[in-house]
Amino acid sequence: MDLIKEKWTEKDRESFVKYLESLAREDKIEWTKNIINTEMRVLAIKNPEIVSIVKQIKKGNFLSFLDLNIRDYYENILINGKLICEIKDFSTMKKYLDIYSKMADNWAVCDTLKFKVKGKEEEFFYLATDYSRSKLPFVRRIGMSILFSFIDNDEYIDKIYMLLNQFQDETEYYVNMINAWLVCELFIKRRDKTIDFLNNNLLNDFTMNKAISKCRDSFRVTEKDKEKLLSFKRK
């Protein structure tokens, strides 16, 4: 199928879905569905093929592709997410992301988003803050995922810890897990500040203990620090 188009129309919708279906791996569908834990229909298309499809669509008018809002399969959503990250204008990107984020029902469609934050730090941090307070758990996960891009930014680092403290009563597993990953990455890159945070924070016990576990599993954390981290573990 020709994926480079000057304009995608409704007539292209069925053809594109059939094209994706032709790439399905029937023997991997149930395994993939269980791994990502989704209610969406799954085709189990290999990731390199997804990446190739995105690259081809991006060469044409990919906004008109996004306007079709094709959501027949998990892979459709994944492709949309990768394309949204290619939109340079922030307000346009946010318009599509707001639609996308509300369709998210699994960790993979959140974690596939790799935003280009440089030069748009203020807008993206505000977006992360806004999403982190959503009533929808996977919107919250997307919001917290954005913060990984700010760990090396001195202007925003203290605000990241402040945002983490708002999740004291969080009960959603996939939100707590992204927060644990974030704390782990903070410890690796901002060790002293994160030790201060671990000494005084409002994280729930699950997130705190999972963050410590992830730090201790990391090859980027010294053996001495791995032992030190045990003192922060909660019963």
Q: What is the pLDDT of residues 35-55, one digit of tens each?
A: 999 999 999 999 999 999 999
What pLDDT, in 10s, does the model give residues 62-78? 999 999 999 999 999 99
% pLDDT > 90, the chain: 100
Q: What pLDDT is recorded for position 36?
A: 96
Range 21-41 average pLDDT: 96
Contact in structure between 6 and 59 (CB atoms under 8 Å): no
Under the banding of pLDDT at 50, 70 and 90, the label for residue 94 is: very high
Contact in structure between 134 and 163 (CB atoms under 8 Å): no
Q: What pLDDT is recorded for position 13?
A: 96
Cβ neighbors of 22 (< 8 A, separation 6 or more) are none
Contact in structure between 160 and 150 (CB atoms under 8 Å): yes
Euclidean distance between CA atoms 93 and 44, whole angstroms: 27
Kindly list the structural domains of the chain, giving each domain's residue range(s) and its CATH number in brackets, ordered by start. Answer: 1-114 (no CATH), 117-235 (1.25.40)
CB neighbours of residue 117 within 10 Å: 18
Contact in structure between 139 and 101 (CB atoms under 8 Å): yes
